[in-house]
Structure 1
């Protein structure tokens, strides 16, 4: 005689886990102004300031050759870099503030991390779409009428990059800052101040060692050649490796972390 059992419990467990992941996603969007409104407002303010600077520069330069030189120099603008740093802060806050709160509602560490990772992917897609649209407008208006470069800077593929390549550049960059910020916050959740001191010391020594090796071996031309050969898309594609490492490290650290509210 064969007894068959219905797999109702695993199915219910899977549904519950999925609902908790979505619940974490919604929890990260509770403060919509800080996540979706404030970053665009600050970026808009930076854009207006840059627009004023471009107008002042071009009003003081009348020769076409000089204006061309100015436009070429603007392709190295880092005006939009702020928004990526802000997303690193969002990644930190997702762990520092939301993690203890979520565990209080019986959300598992696994579901919390998956929900937070999904949040990072959704936000990266939204902001990448917005930045790609602004880049297209910037190209269409020839740098907002002044040859300015804020969303089509050299680091974002310049003015010649197709929209899908530019979207990938933004998307991968956003993911990098989200997960690195979350991993750093996870270190604090796991080991508190001592962990942050050790992490900062190790990171500083590692950076000094890398710079020292490159300098002593006269390898800076090779480093520059590597960036030139790979181009913005290739360099950002390589950033997916530390992004994946940060995502895995963050999950493993949170598995043993004890939040303090």
Structure 2
């Protein structure tokens, strides 16, 4: 099974540009936009050494929010476009699901490594030479490298796995599959919020980076299992 799973992982990496180049472009664009914002702020007279400036950029969530949407898409297309080829290789559905999960893990690790490189460049240049902070921010641990890696890795894996579930349901049931799942998730979240409403304040106060990342990772693992369950009876088109 391991050899078959590795074949599936290699199959996903056929589209190297999407796997390796596009994430770099997305992160570079976030950096460029942040630099432009910093330059505009300086032009209107704001002081980069002020407390307001530092607090503002510490709340910059651009890097955190920039890649989940793309990785959900990548997770969808990874399964929707390769499942028939994976089956043509003679792999079992379990091996295909395992190989896809490994691809998602490797991609998440790659993105975390990219984030670390850009964080190091940001520190080296004191905010890209204009005091623009993108990776050294509150949502990524405020300079705590293990937290930075943990958050980027878990969010990327979560996003890929969620996309994978939607892709698996698309392969299994066409457009109706993802639509039903989306409706079910919205209803489940709404019901959960109603039930937990009195405790929401305490829950948010108890959250830590470790707990949030663990939540993302747990949901990602559950989604990976969901991918297999969806593909187990899907027809090869």
Structure 1, gaps ≥5 residues long: 1-16
**Partner of 2:111 in structure 1?**
127
**Partner of 1:86 in structure 2?**
70
Q: 2:178 aligns with which of 196, 217, 241?
A: 196
Distance 1:30 1:62 in 2: 47
Contact 1:172-1:236 at 8 Å conserved across structures: yes
Quick check: 1:107 aligned with 2:91? yes
Quick check: 1:77 aligned with 2:60? yes
Distance 1:259 1:35 in 2: 24
Deviation, structure 1 residue 203? 1.4
Structure 2, gaps ≥5 residues long: none
The residue correspondences of 1:130-141 to structure 2 (distance < 5 A) are 130-141=114-125
Distance 1:186 1:59 in 2: 49
Distance 1:165 1:193 in 2: 37
Deviation, structure 1 residue 128? 0.7
Distance 1:83 1:197 in 2: 22
Name the SS for the 1:184 alignment partner: helix
Quick check: 1:223 aligned with 2:203? yes
Contact 2:34-2:133 at 8 Å conserved across structures: no
Distance 1:64 1:82 in 2: 24
Name the SS for the 1:196 alignment partner: helix
Superposed CA offset, 1:188-240 (max 9, x none) = 2223233233222211212222333344x3x342233122xx2x232112222
Distance 1:146 1:223 in 2: 37
The residue correspondences of 1:5-20 to structure 2 (distance < 5 A) are 17-20=1-4
Name the SS for the 2:175 alignment partner: helix
Deviation, structure 1 residue 115? 1.4
Larger Rg computed on CA atoms: 1
Quick check: 1:257 aligned with 2:234? yes
Distance 1:224 1:206 in 2: 19
Structure 1 residues 57 and 106, CA gap change in structure 2 (3 angstroms): same
Count of aligned pairs between the two proteins:
236
Superposed CA offset, 1:129-182 (max 9, x none) = 1101211222333322333221122111112x1x23321221112111111110
Q: Taking structure 1 as the reference length, what is the TM-score of the superposition?
A: 0.82
Q: Taking structure 2 as the reference length, what is the TM-score of the superposition?
A: 0.90
**Partner of 2:193 in structure 1?**
211
Name the SS for the 1:258 alignment partner: coil
Distance 1:123 1:72 in 2: 32
Q: 2:82 aligns with which of 95, 98, 108?
A: 98
Name the SS for the 1:239 alignment partner: helix
Distance 1:147 1:234 in 2: 30
Contact 2:87-2:93 at 8 Å conserved across structures: yes
Q: 1:237 aligns with which of 206, 214, 220?
A: 214
Distance 1:184 1:53 in 2: 35
